[in-house]
Amino acid sequence: MRRRSFVTLGAAGVGSVLAGCAKDEVEGFDLDNAPRGPIVLGFSQAGAESGWRVANTESIKKSAERNRITLNFKNADGKPEQQIADVHAFIDAKVNVISFAPVVESGWGEVLRRARDARIPVVLTDRLIDEKDTSLWTSSIGAEFASEGNLAALYLANAFSGTAGPVNVVEILGTTGSTPTKQRAEGFAATASKTSLLKVIDEETGNWSRDGGEDAMRKLLKRNKKIDAVFAQNDDMGLGAVTALEAANRKPGSDPKIVTVDATRDGLEALLAGKLSYVVECSPEIGEQLMTVVVDLFHGGRVKKRIESEKAVFDAESAAEALPDRKY
C-alpha cells in the first residue's frame, strides 16, 4: 500500500482522514486547534533482545526520517520501570504523540492518565496493555498473537495427522507478563484442545533471546524423555533450541519438529536448512503504519482503534521464495 508522507499532506489530505470514519475509529485533536510546526514523536522501545526487535526499531527510525517526523527514541532494555519513566519524560518534553512497545502489560494506568490529561495521544505498538479504561490509548498497531498460536498448533496437528497420539509438545515462552507470550500460548492451547493429538507437557521461559531459548530447551530435555514437537514463541528462541537439541544428538526439524513465530531472515534460513519445521510471520515492519497514524493525529484526524500488521506462514518452499527479498 502506498503510504502518505507528511510533507505531501495538504488540506485535501486532512479532509480525507476526517471523512468516512467507521465505528472503530476515535477522534484525535480538534482540527480547529490542531498544532502547527514539526511533529515530535516520543517512542519507547521494549528492548533489543531479538533480531525481530532490532528490525522493528530500524523500521520505526527509517519511517520517521522518511516522513520528516522528529523522533525522540528511548530503549527500555526490557525494564518496565524504565519504560514508564520514558513515557513520563515524553510528557515532560511535550511531544505531540507518544508510542511504545510495552515490556509488560500491567502498571500503565497512572502515567497514561497523565498523558491523557496533557492531551497527548498514545499509540501502542506490537503489544497491548492490561487496562480496563481503553480511552488511555488512541490506537494500537500489531499482530493478532492468538491467531499465531492457532496457526502453529494447526501445522503440528496436520504434520502428525495419521499418527497414534499423543504428540508431546513443549513450549518455549517469551517474557512473562507480555501480551504475545500470553496470547500465543492461549491460541496454541485453544487449537490443540480441539485435536486428539497434541498434548502440551511442559513449558519454559526463554525471554525472547537465542541464549534464553537454548537454556530453556536444555531444561525441557532434562525434564522430559519424550518430546515430539517444540513451539518456540519467536525465531530466536527456536534457534537457541536448535543449538541445545544438536548438542543432545537430536535432529531439530524432524526430531523434534520445531514451529516458531516471526519469520526473520535467520529463521527462514534455518527453515530452508531443515532445522525448523514451520514459521508463522509476525512482521516487524510497522514503521509506516505508525507514522501514518501519527500524521493523522497531528492534523486532527481520526484513526482506527486497532490496526493489524501483515502476516504470512512459511514452509521450506515458501521460505526459499521469500529469502532473496527479506530485509530483516
Per-residue pLDDT of the chain (328 residues; tens, 9 = 90+): 322 222 223 222 333 333 333 444 444 444 455 556 799 999 999 999 888 999 999 999 999 999 999 999 999 999 999 999 999 999 999 999 999 999 999 999 999 999 999 999 999 999 899 999 999 999 999 999 999 999 999 999 999 998 987 999 999 999 998 999 999 999 999 999 998 899 999 999 999 999 999 999 999 999 999 999 999 999 999 999 999 999 999 999 999 999 999 999 999 999 999 999 999 999 999 999 999 999 999 988 889 999 998 778 999 999 999 999 888 8
Question: What pTM did the predictor assign?
Answer: 0.78
Residue owning grid cell 526520517: 65
What does residue 125 show for φ and ψ, rounded to 5 degrees?
-125, 150
CA geometry: angle 288, 79, 69, nearest 5 deg = 25
Report pLDDT for 19.
Answer: 32
Q: Which has the closest alpha carbon to 309: 142, 151, 148, 149? A: 142
Question: Which domains are seen in the chain, by residue range?
Answer: 6-142+284-309 (3.40.50.2300), 145-282 (3.40.50.2300)
Measured in whole angstroms, the distance separating CA 152 from the mean position of its chain's CA atoms is 16
